[in-house]
Structure 1
Amino acid sequence: MNPTRRKLLAAALAAGLLAAGPASASAAASTSGPRESYAALGDVHVLKIGRPSAKRVVVLVSGMYGAANGFRVLARDLVARTPDTQVWAVDRREQNLADLGGFQGGDPARYYLDGRYRKSPTSSRARSWGLKVALDDLRGVVQAAADHGRRKVVLGGHSWGATTALAYAAWDFAGRPGYQDLSGLLLIDGGVHGAFAGEGGTIHNAPEEVRARLAAIEKGEPFDSYLSQGKGFGARPEQAAIWYQLVAWYAHRDPHAPSVLADRLPEKLRPSRPVTNAGLLGWLVQAAPGTAPQLAVVSGRLGDDGDWVDDGMTPLSRVAEAMAGPAPGTFEWYWPQRLSLDLDAVDPYADTESAELLGLRLWHARRVNVPLYAFESGLDKGTELTAARWVVKHSRIPRATYAGDHAMKHLDPLFAAPGRNELTRTLVPFLRGL
């Protein structure tokens, strides 16, 4: 995600589509469908969907503000079509800071909106939670998924998660290139080398800009508060996240009842007429004026009665289930500013001066030699696939699959109904061919 994407996040109603991270490491199994569990693995948490005996594991990483539950419905669709595949969705270590206790009761709005939740203390350690920390954590996940070489591992991600996956492949882990851990790479609406250029933004990663940003992080707060401040939710980084998870929680549990939260929203965000719980969620993710396409879905419309009418590719119920959580959540409460800086510096996909300043070990980009799959929505007007082709041309990647659906918004690939999801349709044969 580039700086323009961050600005648009705060400028759009969908910018608050955030959900919480884990409150505990307890496992949770689905009562129907594929086997599911959620548990700690070192300093991170992993949502696992599919058979533990599967011969192939797809490890997925979220983008900015994203978290494991954003991949749940997509993972279910994938393992249903490729039984030899298990999906692992990763929650970064900062997810451990979120207090999800209020979602376990019957009145979460009171717990969170009245400020009773546990707020994360500012920690100097979090100022160093950049790409090196994220990739070291991720390597532990990849190695566990490989099970001493008994299973193939495909690493991928959405938005800046795709950037993270490519960084892993090029990274030097104490003399071992990251790509040697992998059997494939999967990019969903993201990447490097201008993948986000279609938004028209400029990435500030020149050496002098890196030095200035790094100095600001060392002196300031470790987490990004732009979303909450930009939408008027407050000064704390988690406040926008809490609001939108609450909206999804009620939409998931009682979708057609009159909205519990509409009258408590900041005035500029409120619908102009009464809505249901589902109507309010649909309003925020698609219908409200100024909804950002990069954080929206093509779901439906607000009916005359204030309820939500599903007539798009992404049923609102799938969005509500994922975003309601509570553990894991769909989006992070606390996003490290250092991670933003490092991911901006990764964009050239080379060992640049800025990468060296930040200690980013991108030493093997030209030698990456595993198959690649890349998918783009209509968000960036084609630049994701252009960037993916550049990566293939400037590496040893033996073959690549390129796919897309420009009718999709940025979140549709994660939530669209399987019969309407071009990502699912084209990714399944790629996985089967590995």
Structure 2
Amino acid sequence: MPTDPVTSWNAAPDGVPGPPRAVVLGGGIGGLTAALALVRHGWRVRLYERAAALDPVGAGLAVAPNALRALDVLGLGDAVRERAAVQGEAGLRRPSGRWLARTSGAELARAFGDPVAVLHRADLVAVLAAALPDGVVRTGTPADVRDPGSADRPATVTADGHDLTADLVVAADGLRSRTRDRLFPGHPGPRYSGFTTWRTVITGGPRPVPFGETWGPGALAGLAPLVDGRVYLYASVTAPAGERAPDGDERAELLRRFGHWCAPLPQLLAAAEPDAVLRHDVYELAEPLPAFHHARVALLGDAAHAMTPFQGQGACQAVEDAVVLAHLVRPGEDPYRALPAYTAARLPRTTGVVARSRRVGRAVAVTAPPAVLLRDAALALAGRLPRAAVVRATAPTFGWRPPAAPAP
């Protein structure tokens, strides 16, 4: 007679304690990385994803040197590098096309071991999912924390109408995390940042396309070539929450806002597929959580520290979270006693990244002509600094090293 999957999970075989058990909520990049990191440390893991498939909503994704270093710990760094385009010469321009500042991927590589790598979000999800053992990922299955557990009691997760006990629950359930709301009901939750964003991947249009961003009053647009010849295009503007193109055509809205900016942006937008343009309002956890854990539950990724996209660190910080968490809760370590160290390691780090991204957003948001002129003058002045000085300014973000990595 086949064994009930819930019974086999909850019961130790033959009464002998097995490996520690972890339930991961959410099949995004953070959840998949956490599941893999725990498996590599000897945990028995199940990951529950509400969606019917691991079909990520998104377009391109920047994987910075700090996240590549974390993926190296899991043996996946080279697989990501093989699928990614690396930032070469890049820069920042005005809508007229005049350069404000230039940066170099080679300088980043010399300082941090890698430049920024850009790939499609689906490619990173595929790399992570392929590395997990069969049976770990359960899609189309909502799951929620029923009991966070205690020092002498496992946590309980309800999945598909069944209760599963776990030594550890990893809540990677996103911006609107139900787990976060349950653990910290007094926290105000996500706040609208004032920005809406568009993302798309474009097949046609002019080539070659340089890496870089163009900043205008209260708006930016960025371009990043992908390794397969397509181009990742993203844009942000200040706008009221919930505002959408009047006729639902977001490509037409992008052309209205950016079609008069410097080449090749108008030509690429003209080549974009209207149905492939994604638009989302940007929300952030502007007020840090008091902790990233409670009892036997750890929050990870956007559930813990949702941020604006202006440093390209949302997914990167989730990857960092996962590697640090797995390092701290290795078998033999009681997760209940180990999780305070996870909060101590990750809360200050991510709070700093969130704040730096918000500062960049404030610079993008200026719209008054005198303020735009002052901002652009400051950017141009920074662009005249030696490139090594510019690279040093990124060290607080890119210079992070995972706890399991060897010393440089």
Q: Same fold, TM exceeding 0.5?
A: no
| Greater helix share, structure number | 1
- TM-score class, shorter-chain normalisation, is under 0.3
Structure having the larger proportion of residues in strand? 2
- TM-score, L = length of structure 2: 0.23
Q: Which has the larger radius of gyration?
A: 2
